[in-house]
Amino acid sequence: MSDTDLIKLYSQRILGLAAEIPHAGRLPDPDASAKKRSPLCGSTVTVDVKLDQGRVAAFGQDVKACALGQAAASVLGGAVIGRSRAEIEAARDALKAMLKEGGPVPDSPFDGFEVLQPARDYKNRHASILLSLDATVAAMREAESAHCA
């Protein structure tokens, strides 16, 4: 990766998002938690959720990832409160398509993921970028299952 590629990939905006992750830290009494790990790079994200009528009422995340994974967690953290699992899954699927297939940027309120478009060419970073969304979906599924039991 050339210096120019690194500058393009790790833009000031990505680094700024990585430095200011909303809802950083764990919740004291979550409805459910999920931890996801990228085997390629070792990044991990642990998410805690509290749901109210199927929507995220409280959210916490412990992010141990590269700047790209942190930036993705930051975008998610800024939009997650009040969202349903279907909305989070749609954002995850759209982000995956944007990265892997050149698809469009996810719809609002997840359009902040557009900052990660330069990562399309770096397949080894895709798993880390998707961790926060994958962990959130898993935690929401677990919370929904617990409410139904």
| Burial class of residue 86 in the structure, from the number of CB atoms within 10 Å of its CB (0-12 exposed, 13-18 middle, 19+ buried) | exposed
Highest mean pLDDT (candidates 11-20, 37-46, 125-134):
125-134
Residue of 17 and 56 predicted with greater confidence: 56
Q: What domains does the chain contain, in order, with CATH numbers?
A: 3-148 (3.90.1010.10)
Residue 149 pLDDT exceeds 70: no
- The pLDDT tens digits of the residues spanning 23-58 come to 999 999 999 999 999 988 889 999 999 999 999 999
